[in-house]
Structure 1
Amino acid sequence: MIGRTRIFVALLFVAVSTLILVPLQLLSMKTGLYRENLVLRIWHRMILAALGFRVHVSGAMTEKRPLLLASNHVSWTDIMVLGSIVDVSFIAKSEMAGWPLIGGLSKLQRTVFIERERKRKSGEQASEIAARLARNDVMVLFAEGSTGDGNLLLPFKSTLFGAAAMAIGEGTVEHVFIQPVAIVYTRLHGLPMGRQHRRVAAWMGDQDLAPHIGELLAEGAIDVEVRFGEPVEFSAGTSRKAAAKLVEQRVGAMMQDALRSPR
């Protein structure tokens, strides 16, 4: 009974917040009266409040530009976690554009949707990301290419770093900074999560979204850590595979440290 009440109150809170903030975001995008990310950051924080998430940050996003944040990926909630603390736009798989609510709200954040299976489209999308980087928009890349279980890091896909190489190749920028970011779900109701309990926060690709949202709303009280590492400079002579491997190692090290010693 308590769980159902919590879900109802949380959904009502999200619905009211969204109805108020979406028109404000559209107004910002059309008129530029105020920063678009101001409304988005408020909305992300409201979603996290409804879920009962507490975010702990170590380090900071670098001031260097152009900037690509390369992060691990555990759940759809990673977007809210990062969006609540830094002004960024996301690179997401094309399927997400059609998701109820989340897809529409992602478009309000000027998300770039990529179709990895269609080679002809991937070049256009990489070019769009390159243009955004050249305009100093901070883009977030979930470099594993899929969600993991929150315990282990999947190999980073070097092909996803192609936008950085394209931005340099087109001559619009001389280099791109790639900053490693680790998102780690560490505690449930104040107690350290074990390997099995960490799956409560994780949303694997083959799971239905609605039941997972319901479980999170019913559970509540999850702590998540965001750790920012030292940026890697990507220039004309940089190997994509070498850069992907180095960033992967740094993300993995931060992730394991957070798992061993959660805040």
Structure 2
Amino acid sequence: MIKKFRIFAALALVATGTLILAPLQILSMKTGLWPETFILKIWHRLIARALGLRIHVKGELSTKRPLLVVSNHISWTDIMVLGSMVDVKFIARADMEGWPLIGMLSKLQRTVFIERERKRTSGEQASEIAGRMAKGDAMVLFAEGSTGDGNLVLPFKSTLFGAASMAIAEGATEQVFIQPVAIVYTRLHGVPLGRRHRPIAAWIGDEDLMPHLKVLLAEGALDVEVHFGEPIAFAKGSNRKETARLMEARVREMAQAALADPRPSR
């Protein structure tokens, strides 16, 4: 009964907030009355609160621009976690565009939707990402190309690091800064999540969204750590694959540190 009430209350909070904030975000996008991420950060925080996410941050988003933020990926909730804290825009897989609520939220923050399997469109997508970075948007790339179970960082795919190369080749900038970020779900109700239970937070592969949403809403009180690493400069002559491997190593190091010594719940 308590879990059912929690789900109902959380959904009511999100629905009410969305009815208020969505028109304000549309107004912001059309008029520029506020920065586009101002309303979105409130919206993300609302959803994070409804889910019971308790966010712990180490480090900070780089102020250097153009900026490509490279992160591991565990769940659709990663977007709420990052979006609630910092002014960023996202690079997401194409099918997310049609998801209820998440798709609408993504469109309202000008997410770049990519089709990883269609090589014909990869150049256009990289060009759009490059253009957005050149205009000052900090773009978030979930570089594994899929979601993991939270225990391991999957190999990073180097393809979309090509957006950094393209921004330089097109003359939009002389260099792009690339910053590693690790997202780690560490505790449930204050108790450390072990290897066996950490996948509770994970949304993997073709798993349906609604069952996973209900689990998170029913449980609540999930701690997540976000670790920001030091950015590196990617310039003409930099190797895309080597950069992808370096970012993968740094994200894995930060993730393992968070898993080994999770911060106390609050």
- The alignment's TM-score, normalised by the length of structure 1, stands at 0.99
Match of 1:14 in 2: 14
**Which is further off, 26-35 or 115-124?**
115-124
User: What whole-Å deviation, never above 9, does each CA across 1:202-237 have from its counterpart, x for those lacking one?
Assistant: 000121100000000000000000000011111111
Match of 2:214 in 1: 214
After TM superposition, list the pairs within 5 Å mapping 1:17-96 onto structure 2: 17-96=17-96
User: What is the percentage of aligned positions where both structures have the same residue?
Assistant: 70
After TM superposition, list the pairs within 5 Å mapping 1:97-246 onto structure 2: 97-246=97-246
Helix, strand or coil at the partner of 1:207: coil
Distance 1:35 1:162 in 2: 28
- Residues 14, 47 of structure 1: 8 Å contact kept: yes
**Which is further off, 115-124 or 75-84?**
115-124
The amino acid of 2:158's aligned partner reads S
Gaps spanning 5+ residues in structure 1: where?
A: none
Helix, strand or coil at the partner of 1:70: strand
Distance 1:115 1:207 in 2: 19
The amino acid of 1:122's aligned partner reads S
Distance 2:100 2:63 in 1: 34
- Residues 130, 167 of structure 1: 8 Å contact kept: yes
The amino acid of 2:225's aligned partner reads E
Distance 2:61 2:175 in 1: 17
Distance 1:212 1:64 in 2: 36
**Which is further off, 251-260 or 196-205?**
196-205
**CA apart distance, 1:120:** 1.9
Helix, strand or coil at the partner of 1:258: helix
- Residues 70, 180 of structure 1: 8 Å contact kept: yes
User: What whole-Å deviation, never above 9, does each CA across 1:33-59 have from its counterpart, x for those lacking one?
Assistant: 111111000000000110111000000
**CA apart distance, 1:195:** 0.7
Distance 2:237 2:115 in 1: 27
The amino acid of 1:148's aligned partner reads G
- Residues 71, 141 of structure 1: 8 Å contact kept: yes
The amino acid of 1:160's aligned partner reads L
Distance 1:47 1:144 in 2: 24
**CA apart distance, 1:112:** 0.1
List structure 1 runs of 4+ shifted beyond 4 angstroms.
none
Helix, strand or coil at the partner of 1:63: coil
**CA apart distance, 1:118:** 1.6
**CA apart distance, 1:116:** 1.4
Helix, strand or coil at the partner of 1:91: strand
Helix, strand or coil at the partner of 1:212: helix
Distance 2:120 2:245 in 1: 26
The amino acid of 1:220's aligned partner reads G
**CA apart distance, 1:102:** 0.8
Give the root-mean-square deviation of aligned CA atoms.
0.6
Distance 2:107 2:247 in 1: 28
Helix, strand or coil at the partner of 1:262: coil
- The alignment's TM-score, normalised by the length of structure 2, stands at 0.98
The amino acid of 1:133's aligned partner reads M
**CA apart distance, 1:100:** 1.3
- Residues 232, 247 of structure 1: 8 Å contact kept: no
Match of 2:249 in 1: 249
**CA apart distance, 1:244:** 0.4
Helix, strand or coil at the partner of 1:160: helix
**CA apart distance, 1:160:** 1.8
